[in-house]
Structure 1
Amino acid sequence: TRYAQVGIVSVQVALVRWLESVGVRPDAVVGHSLGELTAAWAAGVLGLEDLLRLTALRGGLMESQPGAGAMAVVHADAETVVSALAAHPGVEVAAFNAPRVVTVTGPADAVGMFCRESGLRSQPLVVSHAFHSAAMQGAVAPFVEAVAGTALSAPMVGFVSAVDGGWHTAESVAEPGYWGRAMREPVRFSQAVTTLAETGARSVWEIGSHPQLTSLARASWSGTPDPVWISTLRRDRVDQVQLHEAVAAFVNQASGDIDWSAVHRGKAPRTTTIPTYPFKRQDLTAPPARRSGTARSAVSHPLFDRHYEHQSEGQ
């Protein structure tokens, strides 16, 4: 995870920078777990060097914590899941991702028993550690100490907290303890998306290597009209093709503005052929109008017919 977290954030930074270069800039941001650090950078809270330094530290600290943990996605509402957890000490909620999608975390044996005995539909996740569980407690204090020595600014755009689901303030982002809570406490992504929907956004972008959160966000979105959901990259698509389709969707479906010259910067101009069309030529020139009676053109056409009918009626 020490390498994965740096890789994830680096890709997110590159995507935000590229979108910015073609004129796509966020009005509001929200991040899921690690993504909240990138969101903080995109909102102007963190500088790039500090973002990468804290990301590397976070990944290293989390990897150094006890392993043998597990996580699983449970397809049930939050109240049902929390109630079922009462019979399984050690298993916690890692994330409230959507109205009926909750992730649980804890020791591998305990999580396995919960999945078997709870009677709830669940799906194990492939993870190295039990993130957002008591197993991460040892990483919190050193990370908070590092944040305390970092310059943090007030958000320059709307920034939604994934810890409490509300809007960040200058005070909340400047509190080092908040960033420790973001490592340890459940991710309230569903609530954060509900808050984000208050903006009435016309488009929502998922910044990452594959759309993992879009379906969850759509399930939690309560605003109207429904925005255009855009994925920056997909694992089964060529990056350039996907990015071009993303900006095209932004322009054509969300009425967004971009700098097309920037999109094609560095690429040699080219021409292409277009299909030819063998027009069926037909003379629609009408004969002179008659003074009486209904005149019709030699070639029947609704517009000409109406024109001469009106003339014959004195209109």
Structure 2
Amino acid sequence: MGGVNAHVIVEEPPQVERGAVVVQDSHLVRVTGADERAVRELAAAYADHLTAVPDADPGDFARTVNTGRAAQRWTTAVHGTGRAELAARLTEIADGTTQPVRSAGRHVTAFLYTGQGSQYAGMARRLLTTEPHFRDALHECADLLAPHLDVPLLDLLHGDARHLLDETRYAQPAVVSVEVALTRLLAEAGVRPDTVAGHSLGELTAAWAAGVLALPDLLRLTAVRGALMQGRSTDGTMAVVHTGTATLTEALRNHPGVEIAAYNGRTHTVTGPEQDVARFCEESPYRTQRLTVSHAFHSAAMEPAVRPFAEAVAGTALRAPELPFADTLTGDWHTAATATDPQRWADAIRRPVRFAQALTTLAGEGPHVVWEIGPHPQLLPMARTVLAEPHPVWVPTLHRERNDQVQLHAALAAHHRATGAELDWAALHAGKNQRTTTAPTYPFARQELTAPPARRATANAVSHPLFDHPYEHRSEAE
């Protein structure tokens, strides 16, 4: 055969067009190593790099170190709004101010879902622009709610209809949608609940998180619930009372129009007609705080909404909970029977919320971290007064006075440091068009090993065929 000339041409691959970078308000950086020393050394190297390279993009840097390094036995995480803040917090790891934790085994994470009253105009707006997973989930909620609301969800949250969030029929779907999007975002990041509870409206979202009902049904029922409650008398109000259950029950004997709406631990919420609640607050020896609400929720005024809501739930496919789910109507665990009972969900509109009892039940699972899933923390302050020491780590997802992504990254960092559990770092950077860049290499633990003198002498005196050069070895036959 004749010879065949083959030519191989090697050249650089074509450059991939980089999409528009999603501008971030905050950056989350993990530091992981085989031991504490390695974590501190790597954190110092990271801090030096961010300080010494003025054009280092913190988003690219975070993506590189978070997704390009395998998880080690020891780990921690910090967050910052830019290079300077990240470098400062990395330095706190390097000097021992922030301690790494050893990657742990199983830990228990609890989710508490906030109820109505946590809403405000513009809630979670920055997550809509900085977190693709949150954006996608919120848009899905908007599409599912479109047949049930006369105002688009995004207009309610961030558009010209924001003033309508004070109305119950709009507030309830808005709060639940934000909670759903937060839960989806956390799941993508690798944070999922092992046990759940919710306060009033929040118990519906908790039911979805526990697998009791599907997302389309959750949003439909939330819209129905809000509209039914909106249609009730508006001459009622509510107030927080700072006292125990027994003393409050005794005090209400002289105020028959006022009821307990929620048992929240050291504080309780009372509800009833405006004039009755006002008189109770004036005459009460206990500290009271009037709430800005449109209705007397969980009172006799809500009775007309019970039957129609039971009928709406009866047409919904309900399933047994897939994880421990605390029942705030009884204070015990939900069972397959309670979770799938339409009348139980309707009664929750009228009857008081036994949040303190349900929280005590949930505490029996031994949660290491308790997240509040909602626009603003309302449940964690109450939970601190209910649960005994040692407390779990309390983690709010959002806070009205803080930047949304900064608060979220602070929460994720706290969760990671508390549990040592790995987050899904690739998912946290997905869709943000960040690229791989230069980062300090891992500080390997180099150690020079020298045999004791006696062993060195023995080794030098004994020749072994395995250590002879193969071409210098000669057999006896040669």
Identify the TM-score tier after normalising by the shorter chain: 0.7 to 0.9
Q: Tell me if structure 2 keeps the 8 A contact 1:148–1:176.
A: yes
For the residues of structure 2 that align with 1:56 and 1:8, how far apart are their CA atoms?
A: 11
Structure 2 residue 260 is matched with structure 1 residue 93: yes
**Partner of residue 248 from structure 1, selected from 413, 433, 438:** 413
What's the CA shift string for 1:29-74, capped at 9, x where partnerless? 0000000000000000010010000000000000000111010000
Name the count of aligned residue pairs.
272
Residue 399 of structure 2 is matched in structure 1 by 234
Cross-structure match for 2:27: none
Aligned-partner SS, 1:143: helix
Amino acid at match of 1:54: L
Structure-1 residue corresponding to 2:279: 113
Q: Which has the higher contact order (CA 8 A, sep 6+)?
A: 2
Q: 1:265 aligns with which of 410, 430, 440?
A: 430
Partner of 1:191: 357
CA distance in 2, matches of 1:271, 1:94: 55
Whole-angstrom CA distance in 2 between matches of 1:64 and 1:79: 33
Deviant stretches of 4+, over 4 Å: 270-274
* 1:162 corresponds to 2:319: no
Distance 2:352 2:438 in 1: 53
| SS of equivalent to 1:199 | coil
**Alignment partner, residue 73 of structure 1:** 240
Alignment correspondent of 2:194: 27
Aligned AA for 1:78? Answer: T
Unmatched segments (≥5 aa) in structure 1: 275-315
Contact 1:228 / 1:254 at 8 angstroms: preserved in 2?
Answer: no
Q: Distance in 2 between matches of 1:123 and 1:236?
A: 21
The 3-state SS of whatever aligns with 1:200 is coil
Q: In structure 2, what residue type is equivalent to 1:232?
A: T
Counterpart amino acid of residue 207 in structure 1 = I
RMSD (Å), alpha carbons = 1.4
- Give 1:204's aligned residue: 370
Which of 229, 240, 262 in structure 2 is aligned with 1:62?
Answer: 229
Tell me the CA shift for residue 255 of structure 1: 2.4
**What is the SS of the residue equivalent to 1:266?**
coil
Counterpart CA distance in 1 for 2:414 and 2:328 is 27
- Following TM superposition, by how much is the alpha carbon of 1:269 offset from its aligned partner in structure 2, in angstroms? 3.0
Q: Which amino acid aligns with 1:76?
A: T
Q: 2:295 aligns with which of 129, 141, 151?
A: 129
With the length of structure 2 as denominator, give the TM-score of the two structures.
0.56
Query: Does 1:84 pair with 2:264?
Result: no
Aligned partner of 1:297 in structure 2 is: none
Contact 1:29 1:159 (8 Å CA) reproduced = yes
Distance, in Å, in 1 between the alignment partners of 2:358 and 2:231 is 29
Q: How many Å separate the matches in 2 of 1:120 and 1:57?
A: 37
Aligned-partner SS, 1:160: coil
Task: Give the match for residue 215 of structure 1.
Answer: 381
Q: 1:111: how far off?
A: 0.2
Three-state SS of the structure 2 residue aligned to 1:161 is coil
**Contact kept? 1:72, 1:103, Cα under 8 Å:** yes
Q: Secondary structure at the match of 1:25?
A: coil
SS in structure 2 at match of 1:26: coil
Equivalent residue, structure 2, for 1:15: 182
How far the C-alpha of 1:118 sits from its partner, in A, is: 2.1
Please list every run of 5 or more consecutive structure 2 residues that lacks an aligned counterpart in the other structure: 1-167, 441-478
Aligned residue number for residue 48 of structure 1:
215
Distance in 2 (alpha carbons) for counterparts of 1:81 and 1:269 = 59
CA-CA distance at 1:242 after TM superposition: 1.2
